[in-house]
Amino acid sequence: MKSAIRNSKVLALAGATVLVAGLAFTAAEGNSSNDPFASLPANLELSATIRDVRERTNTGGHPDFERQPTAGFGQFRFMVADTLDEDGKPVFRSSGRKVNSVWKDSSNRPIIDPRSYIASRSGDVAGSMSSTDGGALTTNTAFGQWYRDVPGTNASRTVKLKLVRNANSNTYTFNDRTDEFFTSRGGFFPIDGELLGNSGGSTPNKNFHFTTEIDTEFVYQRNSNQVFTFTGDDDVWVFIDNKLVVDIGGVHSAVSQTIDLDRLTWLEDGRSYRLKIFHAERHRTQSNFRIDTTLRLRTVQPPAVNGLFD
């Protein structure tokens, strides 16, 4: 997956089709008048709430950050419940089941393992996971602090993420490897030198321990190829209408998962729905964050933050 992200920097020849994170993009042919989606906005801007935490070996550190699971690093499922709680936050389910092989669709895109509310399709390929809990989380109480402001435990601020429309396409991408601000930081490091300060004990000197929360909405349009793909590390969970549709838990290198919204059979054509992203960066060495989507996402009012920032 790391190579797939790096390859997104390669320029495609005019008119060529390239595959990134399971989505096909067509390179511009030099004349924007040939773009069938030219009427769409060039960019979408989302607000993300970043909560900074100290890793577990520091004074006041959080037990889930910079901690190796008993089953070892890797991708985990079943860490969170299938629905959000009454506050719109993920619910602790278990310490996670380590994934041995991922579930895929007929286009070879990684997908969430079967849920009662997600339709299966011909060509889906089953993956596998451990039958025992793997220790990717500690306790319900500790996990409850990830996406809530807790004085003395975390500090928060809001950052903006810009999704750019791909040439001749209705697909929007945020990619820390090509975004001007994050490219200069060498990855998804939105709070280097801010809030609780950098992690320490690492090279380069970065802030590696934080969570990301994004609250957006969109209009569902049936049979219009509406998809959402996340690629990155570490944990990420995506909920649509409060139901889990992307499940990539655990401390791991960059991996992808895609949800085709036409699999969500309860969605009604033409209605607005909430999409929420919950992400965590829990381990030193790298931080990757990428979104590819054909959804016209817009930010819902972000929660208040406790950092001294505008």
State how far the alpha carbon of 233 is from the alpha carbons of 109, 212, 240, 251, 258, in Å: 17, 11, 20, 7, 15
Rounded to 10 degrees, the C-alpha dihedral 8/13/19/24 comes to 120
What are phi and psi for residue 3, nearest 5 degrees?
-65, -35
Computed from CA positions of residues 139, 118, 75, 173, in that sequence, does the dihedral angle turn out positive or negative? negative
Average pLDDT of every residue of the chain: 89
- Which pLDDT does position 285 carry in this prediction? 84
Q: What CA–CA distance (Å, rounded) separates 23 from 227?
A: 9
**pLDDT at residue 307 above 70?**
no
Domain parsing of the chain, residue ranges: 43-299
**pLDDT at residue 2 above 70?**
no
pLDDT confidence band for 6 (50 / 70 / 90): very low
Give the model confidence (pLDDT) of 33-56 as tens digits: 689 999 999 999 999 999 999 999
Q: What CA–CA distance (Å, rounded) separates 249 from 90?
A: 12
- Which pLDDT does position 23 carry in this prediction? 45
**pLDDT at residue 7 above 90?**
no
Q: What CA–CA distance (Å, rounded) separates 20 from 192?
A: 28
CB neighbourhood size of 126 (10 A): 11
Where in 6-64 does DSSP place strands (E)?
Answer: 17-20, 23-26, 43-53
Q: Average the pLDDT over 182-191 and give the result.
A: 96
- Which pLDDT does position 306 carry in this prediction? 81
Q: What CA–CA distance (Å, rounded) separates 146 from 10?
A: 36
Give the model confidence (pLDDT) of 120-142 as tens digits: 999 999 999 999 999 999 999 99
